[in-house]
Amino acid sequence: MSNQAPKKQNGFFGNLAFNIIIPVVIMSNLSSDEYLGPAWSIVAALIFPIGYGLWDLKESGKVNAFSILGIVSVILTGGISLLELPAQYIAIKEAAIPAVIGIAVLITQRTAKPLLKVLVLNEQIVNWENLNQALKAKGTSKEFEAKMAISSYIVAGSFFLSSFLNYVLAKVILVSPPGTTAYTEELGRMTALSYPVIVIPSMIMLMGALWYLFAQIKKLTGEELENFLAQQ
């Protein structure tokens, strides 16, 4: 248990450093012609999140769609910027990825493997075998499925909110011509603001969905939540 917390903490700070802080510093301070220039500063900035994403995939020992999606998103941002395409393409890309995830959450809710179980109630958090047995014993399995559907709407809503905020942020900040130092600095500013403006509100909604499901588990099983948490 004691080894798990530092590992998660290191993962959080590594994620923050390689995906936000280092790229922002490079694009904000090294994009002028006297340093790396607009194009090479973007290349240098993108090396860190791509490298970290690949390293994280290797360390986890398994490939998941969200890690791949993150790497693809970074590559698309770099490609659009280096090709000097209009900033509108960045805004559309930023909005499209969370929107697709939100739609996937809603669609998979009606399948045997809802995406909600991957995002919120995965096997690292909940012991599904114990939970299913307790729900079956109480005859509340169907009712819990209905609560899962409500939680899916909350989670999907968090991604739709992220999609909207991504689009607005890109449209407001990226106003300079692509390929210029000013544009690269704006890209760095957008990356820096993405955490407080987008990630935090979305995380609050995801935590709300998790809290709601935990409350329903206690209510529908009549047992303490600790009985259904996965052992670390």
CA–CA separation, 134 and 168 (whole Å): 45
pLDDT at 67: 64
pLDDT at 18: 73
Q: From residue 209, how far is each of 13, 156, 195 by CA, in Å?
A: 24, 10, 20
Which positions ≥6 away from 198 have C-beta within 8 Å? 162, 165, 166, 169
Phi and psi, residue 30, nearest 5°: -120, 15
Per-residue pLDDT of the chain (232 residues; tens, 9 = 90+): 444 444 444 455 666 677 767 777 777 777 777 778 778 888 888 888 778 878 877 776 665 566 677 777 778 888 888 888 898 999 998 899 889 889 988 998 888 778 887 777 777 788 888 898 999 999 999 999 899 889 999 989 988 998 999 999 999 999 999 888 999 899 888 888 887 877 788 888 888 888 998 999 999 998 888 888 876 5
pLDDT at 88: 92
pLDDT at 63: 56
Distance of CA 183 to the CA centre of its chain: 25
Q: Which helix (DSSP H) or strand (DSSP E) does residue 193 occupy?
A: helix 181-194
Q: Tokens 């919120």 appear where?
A: 120
CB 30 within 8 Å of CB 41? yes
Q: Tokens 């530092």 appear where?
A: 6
Which has the closest alpha carbon to 150: 201, 216, 200?
A: 216
- Mapped onto helix, strand or coil, the DSSP state of residue 67 is helix
pLDDT at 49: 79
